[in-house]
Amino acid sequence: MIGTLLQVALGGAIGASARWGMGLWVLRVTGPGFPLAVLSVNVLGSFVMGLAVVAMAQRGLSQFAPLVQTGILGGFTTFSAFSLEAFALMEKGQAGQAAAYILLSVGASIGGLYLGVLLGRGLLA
């Protein structure tokens, strides 16, 4: 249990640092405006998650899933975990549940942020 927690913690530090670095790099290359840094991190993280899941399964390296999937890629972007879960539902033939998961995740997350902003502004004003 502690070993797994340490894997996740170490991986999370690596992933979050990589996200920050990539965000700075993309911003320097593209400039401000459209959030390409976040988009790039989400797409790259999801791509690497796909590669990692297959590679670890084929090579019997699932013991590194906490480090790589939850830690590094989760710290880099939680969108990669979201993508993996949505894909898993689709792969199981549960397209309706996948669509509901995608719509609810995006809609409820934006709604939660909106409510948090409203509450925060009300408490701070």
Q: pLDDT (tens digit, 9 = 90+) per residue, 55-78?
A: 999 999 999 999 999 999 999 998
Q: What is the DSSP letter of 33?
A: S
Q: Can you tell me the distance from the alpha carbon of 35 to that of 22, in angstroms, rounded to the nearest whole number? A: 12
pLDDT bin (cut points 50, 70, 90) of residue 125 is: low
Of the CA atoms within 13 Å of residue 78, those in its CB half-sphere come to 3
Question: What are 25's two structure tokens?
Answer: 């790099």
74 is in an annotated binding site: yes
Q: Can you tell me the distance from the alpha carbon of 20 to that of 26, in angstroms, rounded to the nearest whole number? A: 10
23 is in an annotated binding site: no
Q: Which of 74, 69, 75, 71 is nearest to 20 (CA)?
A: 75
Kindly report the pTM of this predicted structure. 0.78
Contact (CB, 8 A) for 104 and 85: no
pLDDT at 16: 95
